[in-house]
Chain A
Amino acid sequence: MNAWLTAAPILIPMFTAALCMVAWKYPVAQRALSLLGSLTLVIAGGSLLSTVLDQGIQVVQMGSWAAPFGITLVADPLSALMILIAALMGFCVALHALGDIDPVRERGGHHAIFQVLMTGVCGAFVTGDLFNLYVWFEVMLISSFVLLSLGGLREQIDAAIKYVCINMVATACLLLAVALLYGVTGTLNMADLSVRVPAVPSQPVISAIAVLFIIAFGMKAALFPFFFWLPASYHTPSVSVQAIFAGLLTKVGVYALIRVFTLIFTGDTAWTHGILMVMAGITMIVGVLGSLAAHDLNRAWSWQVVAHIGSMVMGLAIATPLALAAAAFYMVHDIVVKTNLFLGAGLVRRMAGGSTDYARLGGLFKSAPWLCLLLFVPLGSLAGFPPLSGFWGKLLLVRAGLDTQHYVMVGLLLLTGLLTIWLVGRVWAEMVWKAPAEPPGDTLSTMPFVRSYAVVMPLLLLSLITVSIGLQPERLLNVAGQVGESLYDTSAYVQAVLGTTPVPQPTQLGALETGTAP
């Protein structure tokens, strides 16, 4: 039973996607299937998380091949938490898509491809094998290419060109890094790697490979030198696609960084985590400055996605149990808030007649006071106002930074927070208080009843999640605490996967180290 539960996050969206493709000619059936599949995934994610928290790390060896040889699926607290939150976002976005996706995109297979994207994301979270991680990244990538260019507008094609180029280079880097690591250790299983990597005779080789991983995952996560593709592309597709991209895709990169740099590359942390620390600091500042320079709501939020990636990687770079817990907490908060912000920006765009340029916005309070109230929740949480979830995430990170005397990083984090408050104030003034440039365009009341509910309900749901995390942080804090502990001390993970407490052995396979070739 537990084995099926661990594999469920991959199987459910995969079968949903297949069924959606079977129902290619019937959009109504596709909608129902997509919604049903997403809801099932939420239930599976919730029960997986509670199982992991109650009974410890869940491991499945596919095909019953013992650990280092077969394909391993692992659900540890971090994976299970990420799957649950990804499933929740998937459900909200699938619901929003009912009212948002136009018939052209629907005929192009939006629902099916969206489920494939969820398969890739969940697969990346649950896999215990580096090569499989690469494969799931590719599944995620090819579906994101299609979603990005679905609809075929000129700006979408332009954005897709840049997105495709950089991501193909990033996956090539990832594959090369995986290959080299296999060359020096002779294994691809992550738990096995964490035992064998410290036993490799020449550690500088390991450090070099670690840097390749930083580059590959840094491109995915939009860390400092590699983030330019994100503000160039994320504002172009349909609102549902923007929301799921902003919420999940970069965070899968962060998840992979956390997984690899807590489990495998733990030797020369002064070097690897030092690089991550510098990148995180610059990412925060560059992201928030970019968002202040933008004069378009969608672009500002795209830059904010970059800025907050820096905060999570800062938690990883400090690498104490508290800091890792803070990174996990922050990631959950950020996924919810970013999805919510992009969905909200989509509604605002609908009302402002198809543009989110600040010049076209204004007078939202007059035309839709309740929507303003709803939008205030993610905005306030982004800025870190006290009762909302963003405040607790920042508080944990500041605490972790002060404990380890990283005063510069804490200063940068607080400065980023301050500049974000500035941004939120500016957006609020432009969007809500300013006199409108022209009478409002398409309002919700002109939409069909069911569609308008489908569009607004996800915002309400996400805002409720944000508020409930903010008012009752203990529950998520407990889970995040367990995540931090399990990431800091990975012996339970290794033991769960390999079955026994393994003894470090010198490498046996591979030409780089031993030269066994005849």
Chain B
Amino acid sequence: MEVIMALTVGGMVAGAVYLFLSRQYLRVMFGVILLSNAINVAILTVGRLTTGHAPLIAQGTEVMDQAAANPLPQALILTAIVIGFGLLAFALVLGYRAYQEMGTLDTGAMRVAEPEDTP
């Protein structure tokens, strides 16, 4: 199972890097979405994969079942999703504003802050 998950993460990261190489802002943003999801899957994978064991302590015992799911990665992923969502919402609005102001989303054509002749 770990191998499949690792290959999935690798494939998603590769796709994200491919999208990052684009000059179109929107494609870069799609790459960011893909990368953050790849990382969420990675967190889930490194925190031990289990099936069918809730992280609950059974009645009468004081420690958890060894095979139980690890709840911490899920808390981390939840936080990361919320943060990533906030950043992405801002980034998309920023892209919309940039399109209104400059009429393009081609990052190579945006030379307002750094004109051609600046070092």
Contacts and interface: CB of A to CB of B under 8 A. Distances in A.
A299 B28 contact: no
Contacts of A183: 45-47
B68 to A, nearest CB: 10
Contacts of A340: none
Interface in B69-108: 70, 72-73, 76, 79-80, 83, 86-87, 90-91, 94-95, 97-98, 101-102, 107
Interface string B38-55: 010011011111110000
B59 interface: no
A180 B42 contact: yes
A182 B48 contact: no
A176 B20 contact: no
Interface string B19-62: 01000010010001001100100110111111100000000000
B98 A175 contact: no
A183 B49 CA distance: 11
Interface centre among B76, B107, B114, by most chain A C-beta atoms within 10 angstroms, is B114
B113 interface: yes
B113 A233 contact: yes
A5 interface: no
B33 to A, nearest CB: 10
A179 B46 contact: yes
A145 B94 contact: yes
Contacts of B67: 516, 518
A149 B45 contact: no
A406 interface: no
B46 A510 contact: yes
Contact of A142 (B25, B49, B70, B87): B87
A168 B39 contact: no
A155 B113 contact: yes
A176 B39 contact: yes
A172 B36 contact: yes
A293 interface: yes
A511 B32 CA distance: 26
A517 B48 contact: yes
A158 B35 contact: no
A183 B6 CA distance: 13
A293 B46 CA distance: 47
B94 A141 contact: no
Interface residues of A, number: 49
B113 A510 contact: no
A503 interface: no
A168 B91 contact: yes
A175 B97 contact: no
Contacts of A142: 86-87, 90
A241 to B, nearest CB: 14
A168 B32 contact: yes
Contact of A158 (B39, B76, B112): B112
Nearest to B114: A232
Contacts of B94: 145, 149, 157, 160-161, 164
Interface centre among A145, A183, A511, A515, by most chain B C-beta atoms within 10 angstroms, is A511
B66 A516 contact: yes
A39 B43 CA distance: 40
Nearest to A296: B118
A509 B118 contact: no
Given A138-B87, A180-B42, A233-B113, A154 B118 contact: no
A29 interface: no
Contact of A182 (B32, B35, B46, B87): B46
B91 A164 contact: yes
A354 interface: no
Contacts of A414: none
Contact of A179 (B25, B32, B42, B114): B42
B25 A161 contact: yes
16 contacts: A135-B83, A145-B90, A156-B113, A157-B94, A160-B94, A161-B107, A169-B32, A172-B39, A179-B46, A179-B73, A182-B47, A232-B114, A296-B118, A299-B118, A511-B47, A517-B2
Given A145-B90, A158-B113, 6 more contacts: A135-B83, A155-B112, A510-B48, A511-B2, A511-B46, A516-B66
Would you list the 8 A-B pairs with minimal beta carbon distance, nearest first? A183-B46, A293-B119, A159-B113, A158-B112, A179-B43, A158-B113, A155-B113, A155-B112
Interface of A: 131, 135, 138, 141-142, 145-146, 149, 152, 154-162, 164-165, 168-169, 171-172, 175-176, 179-180, 182-184, 231-233, 235-236, 290, 293-294, 296, 299, 509-512, 515-518
